[in-house]
Amino acid sequence: MSELSQQTSDTTLLTINGMSCAGCVRSVESALATVPGVSLATVNFAGQTAAVTGIAKIESLVDAVQGAGYEAKLLEDESLEAQEKDVMATLKKAVAKSVFALAGGLVLMADMRIGYLPSLDATLVWSVLGGLTLVLMMLSGGHFFRGAWSALRHGATTMDTLIALGTGTAWTYSMFVILVPEMIPVESRHQFFEAALFVIGFVNLGKALEINARSKASLAIQKLFDLAPKFATLIGSDGDRLVPVEEVVVGNQLKIKPGEYFSVDGQVISGHSSVNEALLTGEAMPVTKQQGDVVSAGTLNIDGSLVIEAVGVGATTKLASIMRLVKEAQNSKPEIAHLVDRITAVFVPIVLVIAVVTAALWWLLGPEPRLSFALVTSMSVLIIACPCALGLAIPMSIMVGLGRGAADGLLIKNSEILQVASKLTIVVVDKTGTLTNGAPEIIEMKGLDQGQLSCLHALESRSEHPIARAIVEYCERDLTDDVSVQDFRNHVGGGVTGRVDRRMLVIGSAGFLQQQGVSGVPDIDEVGTLVCVAFEGEFAGHFLLRDEPRVDAAEMVSSLKRAGLRTVMLTGDRRNIAQSVAHDVGIDEVHAELLPEDKLNVIRQFQEDGELVGMVGDGINDAAALTIADVGFAMGMGADVAMESADVTLLSDSLGGIEKAISLSRLVLRNIYQNLVAAFAYNLLLIPVAAGVLYPFTGTLINPAMAGLAMAMSSVTVVFNAGRLRFS
């Protein structure tokens, strides 16, 4: 079965070629949406990509896009080099087109200053010049006319429509002046060849700058992740061999030398080294790796030699899945984008109406030469109103912003999350494993003998809870012999129960023991996490544990406070230890002794009070809370579950990422608004000026060439404003 005829499930990413403006986005989206099996199709104009959700054959998707007049390719098929080459080729073409048109325009404009060409009644000379202009227009701006035509056939109007109409009318009118001057009043006999050429030249110039910035932004993320080497040293029975990474399969043993990047995900079999995982985590501090540790493709082996066994290759590496998530996120549209899309769709027809009304008014009411005025003003309206800056405003900011986030180790699921995260009012933090290291230490044990500790060991080794791990480690010292366990049960947020050596054992919080009907549970006031133990329904002894706060917890809390956010701690642990940790890290509001469902209720209550809630958890036992929070932040890459249920994954496992993610989303949102205001204000202000509203008062008119330049500048402004996000 060929690559192309494979069935696709969930999200497929396609590269789309030939989209010239925001209007094309809708054409491609609706073409894709009509393919049977497609449930959602979103096109990103800035990245020139489409994300298609649903079950559809890739070839039917490609066909549908072709039917609408564009080209589509499966994104994964293209290597970074191929994509860069594509971009360079498109860029060179756009620059060349722009230069041709502008040069032609300059030659004609020079004549207006110097007058080296004969006057317009030299029909033959001017007919030839008109023909040459047409050739230049087609060479440099043919794509505008083709685009306008294919849009028209689908009953649509796009930015191409405006440019084609504007420049086409200019040329046609000029030819009338040359060939049948008697049809045109004497005062209106001018040619507009150079205006048409300048418009095409400037618009292409703007396009070239835009392609450059756009591709830089969309390839930036890929470049970042393209560090995984192309070759690997395979250890075989007949010695080591250098092989292309594509040939490495799961189970192969590879040798990684110092200074070499890992090409696959693997597990260390032997050796000892420090590894820089900055690519995955944004954290530059090297991590020590030895036998049994997991290493990831794209990270850098610094100083030791390692032998690893491949556990993930190619598309199944962590690196590949992160890259995919980031690309999908970059392609997603925030709510506000749909509004802009709707506006763009009605924008072009409205502009056409304005242009016609403008022409009619000048023709009926204007001063002489009325025809020239009518033509100049309506042409300027058509050109200046191109909504191309509008189409770029949102996707450019999203792409640059999410790319910047990924570089800092923030995996943000989609752009809608950015919009919500920028408005959060409360950040709720889970204590164990999030604010603390998640490795509690036993600071006190009372009342339990060696035999009892062996039973505890047997029971707690079946629990994943950090407390259980601490107890298991503690009891190991006193381990006698093997004991049998029956009826093990884990009571989330309470403790564990089970039958060990036929004795009923209950381990957990004081409340949990009471609830299990244990008698004689004493009051223990000492500060710490309390774990009580009962044998056969009788209280037997207790542990006191303490889990140290993470080094960066206090810093995170104060940065969140500085950003104006309320911080709240939720925990199932005892009030006294919870308050002590909260005090250490600077959190003022504590909800302790909560069952997992209480945590959900606290979050719901906040939401009912009108707060937007961010929840930070370690992702495994907090999955439900992460899901109902408006934005769920999961720490680290430990579990894939975390990545699934969280909206933002902090790859670096450092708490600083939370504030970083929130301020990044605020920055991106502000950047989007700036772009929208720039793009809209520009259209709203300049369309009336182009129509000549100011003329009766100040004599101001915009000529079509200037309109073309201004239009190009508006896209460039948007593109560069979005680019600022990379540095702020």
Active site residues per annotation: 430
Residue nearest Mg ion by beta-carbon distance: 432
Asked whether position 263 contacts Mg ion by CB under 5 A, the answer is: no
State the minimum distance, in angstroms, from the CB of residue 530 to ligand ADP. Answer: 6
The stretch among 151-159, 196-204, 279-287, 457-465 that binds ligand ADP (CB under 6 A) is 457-465
**Would you say the C-alpha torsion 478, 481, 482, 483 has a positive or negative sign?**
negative
**551: Cβ–Cβ under 8 A, 6 or more apart, which residues?**
none
The stretch among 53-61, 382-390, 505-513, 678-686 that binds ligand ADP (CB under 6 A) is 505-513
Which residues on adjacent β-strands are paired with residue 255?
233, 307
State the minimum distance, in angstroms, from the CB of residue 431 to ligand ADP. Answer: 5
Asked whether position 468 contacts ligand ADP by CB under 6 A, the answer is: yes
Among 494, 498, 619, 692, binds ligand ADP (CB under 6 A): 494
With CB under 6 A as the rule, give the number of residues binding ligand ADP. 20
Among 161, 529, 645, 654, binds ligand ADP (CB under 6 A): 529
The stretch among 21-29, 147-155, 212-220, 613-621 that binds Mg ion (CB under 5 A) is 613-621
State the minimum distance, in angstroms, from the CB of residue 596 to Mg ion. Answer: 9
Taking the least distance from each CB to ligand ADP, the nearer of 182 and 525 is: 525
Count Cβ neighbours within 10 Å for each residue of 18-43 and write b for 16 or more, e otherwise.
bbbbbbbbbbbbebbeebeebeebbb
Asked whether position 509 contacts ligand ADP by CB under 6 A, the answer is: yes
Taking the least distance from each CB to Mg ion, the nearer of 318 and 599 is: 599
Here's the x/- map for Mg ion, 458-487, by CB under 5 A: it reads as: ------------------------------
Taking the least distance from each CB to Mg ion, the nearer of 217 and 427 is: 427
What one-character DSSP code corresponds to residue 21?
S
State the minimum distance, in angstroms, from the CB of residue 519 to ligand ADP. Answer: 19
Report how far residue 391's alpha carbon sits from residue 412's, in angstroms, rounded to the nearest whole number. Answer: 23
Report how far residue 187's alpha carbon sits from residue 371's, in angstroms, rounded to the nearest whole number. Answer: 9
State the minimum distance, in angstroms, from the CB of residue 466 to Mg ion. Answer: 8
DSSP string, 387-415: THHHHHHHHHHHHHHHHHHHHTTEEE--H
The bridge status of strand 300-301 relative to strand 631-635 is: unpaired
Taking the least distance from each CB to Mg ion, the nearer of 99 and 628 is: 628
Report how far residue 540's alpha carbon sits from residue 533's, in angstroms, rounded to the nearest whole number. Answer: 6
Q: Report the chain's C-alpha Rg in angstroms.
A: 34
Site residues for ligand ADP, 384-443, by CB under 6 A, read: 430-432
Report how far residue 68's alpha carbon sits from residue 90's, in angstroms, rounded to the nearest whole number. Answer: 21
Among the listed residues 602, 612, 652, the one whose alpha carbon sits nearest the alpha carbon of residue 632: 612
Q: Which helix (H) or strand (E) holds 177?
A: helix 159-179
Report how far residue 646's alpha carbon sits from residue 616's, in angstroms, rounded to the nearest whole number. Answer: 9
Among 334, 508, 614, 632, binds ligand ADP (CB under 6 A): 508
Binds 29: which of Mg ion, ligand ADP, none (CB < 5-8 Å by kind): none
Asked whether position 493 contacts ligand ADP by CB under 6 A, the answer is: yes
Instruction: Describe the chain by its helix, strand, coil percentages, rounded to 5.
Output: 55, 20, 25
Give the 3-state secondary structure of 143-159: HHHHHHHHHHHCCCCCH
Among 467, 544, 706, 711, binds ligand ADP (CB under 6 A): 467
State the minimum distance, in angstroms, from the CB of residue 433 to ligand ADP. Answer: 7
Binds 571: which of Mg ion, ligand ADP, none (CB < 5-8 Å by kind): ligand ADP
Opening angle at CA 140, ends 716 and 175, nearest 5: 115
Q: What are phi and psi of 443, to 5 degrees?
A: -100, -15
Report how far residue 311's alpha carbon sits from residue 66's, in angstroms, rounded to the nearest whole number. Answer: 40
Taking the least distance from each CB to ligand ADP, the nearer of 192 and 474 is: 474
Asked whether position 436 contacts Mg ion by CB under 5 A, the answer is: no
Asked whether position 497 contacts ligand ADP by CB under 6 A, the answer is: no
The stretch among 7-15, 302-310, 425-433, 670-678 that binds Mg ion (CB under 5 A) is 425-433
**675: Cβ–Cβ under 8 A, 6 or more apart, which residues?**
389, 392, 393, 394, 396, 397, 718, 721, 722
Taking the least distance from each CB to Mg ion, the nearer of 201 and 440 is: 440
Q: Which helix (H) or strand (E) holds 266?
A: strand 265-276
State the minimum distance, in angstroms, from the CB of residue 641 to Mg ion. Answer: 14
Lookup: tokens for 410 = 């923030």
Asked whether position 665 contacts ligand ADP by CB under 6 A, the answer is: no
Here's the x/- map for Mg ion, 618-637, by CB under 5 A: it reads as: ---x----------------
Among the listed residues 59, 64, 42, 60, the one whose alpha carbon sits nearest the alpha carbon of residue 51: 42
Among the listed residues 285, 280, 282, 284, the one whose alpha carbon sits nearest the alpha carbon of residue 325: 280
Here's the x/- map for ligand ADP, 201-240, by CB under 6 A: it reads as: ----------------------------------------
Taking the least distance from each CB to Mg ion, the nearer of 432 and 671 is: 432
**Would you say the C-alpha torsion 107, 112, 116, 121 has a positive or negative sign?**
positive
With CB under 5 A as the rule, give the number of residues binding Mg ion. 2
Among 432, 497, 715, 721, binds Mg ion (CB under 5 A): 432
In the complex, the residues that contact Mg ion under the rule CB under 5 A are 432, 621
In the complex, the residues that contact ligand ADP under the rule CB under 6 A are 430-432, 460, 463, 465, 467-468, 493-496, 507-509, 529, 531, 571-573
